[in-house]
Amino acid sequence: MRKFIIVGSAGSPSQAVEILKIEEKLNIPVIICIHFTASVMETFAEHLRNDTGQNVEIVTKPTRLEDKIYLPQGNKDIVFIGENVISVLDGETTGKSIHPSISALFKSLIRYGDSETVIAVLGGLGDDGAKESSELKKKGVRFIIEKLPRFPYLPNSIAQNLGERYERFEIEKIRSVLKELNKIY
């Protein structure tokens, strides 16, 4: 099953919304892992629904992937527990201090990621997910890194671990990749 995953931190929520404005119904699942405080998650979900017209679900328990947007419950890490099943874990379980943790998501995806998985890395601070990104690349996961993000630290740290094996696109081009993937099904 094709999967489109968007990860990021500071400065990336509005970019994620822009990517998802594809003006057609999603035919693939989109998982979003952006660093947010717990209180903001429901507001962001509503913002996504209103601005994109897509179905958005906040994951609170094991959930089979369907053609919609998924966000983790506030203060939780979104993870894969099966090839097409996601869930959330308490941050204490994953040992991460930032939630949702990109590292926790990537670590869970190492078992299930493949060439059908596309990860868009948006702007942010820190290096969350950088260490695990090289393992995902070995599995055939396609990485697209935001070109010229407002906060380049997160994308640059992930890019550094990928070597030359990623693409760098502006938001409009990332949206067109999502639209192409959406048409294939």
CATH number assigned to the domain comprising residue 170 = 3.40.50.180
* pLDDT value of residue 176: 97
CA distances from 70 to 28, 89, 181 (A): 11, 15, 17
Q: CA 3 to CA 115: how far, in whole Å?
A: 10
Split into its structural domains, the chain has a count of 1
pTM of the complete model:
0.96
CA distances from 61 to 20, 78, 79, 152 (A): 24, 10, 11, 33
Q: Which amino acid is at 75?
A: N
Dump pLDDT digits (tens) for 136-165. 999 999 999 999 999 999 999 999 999 888
Domain encompassing residue 153 = 3-184
Token pair for 175: 């949206």
- Low-confidence stretches of the chain (pLDDT beneath 70): 91-96, 185
- Assess contact for 30 and 143: CB atoms under 8 A: no
* pLDDT value of residue 185: 57
Q: Phi and psi at residue 128, in whole multiples of 5°?
A: -55, 125
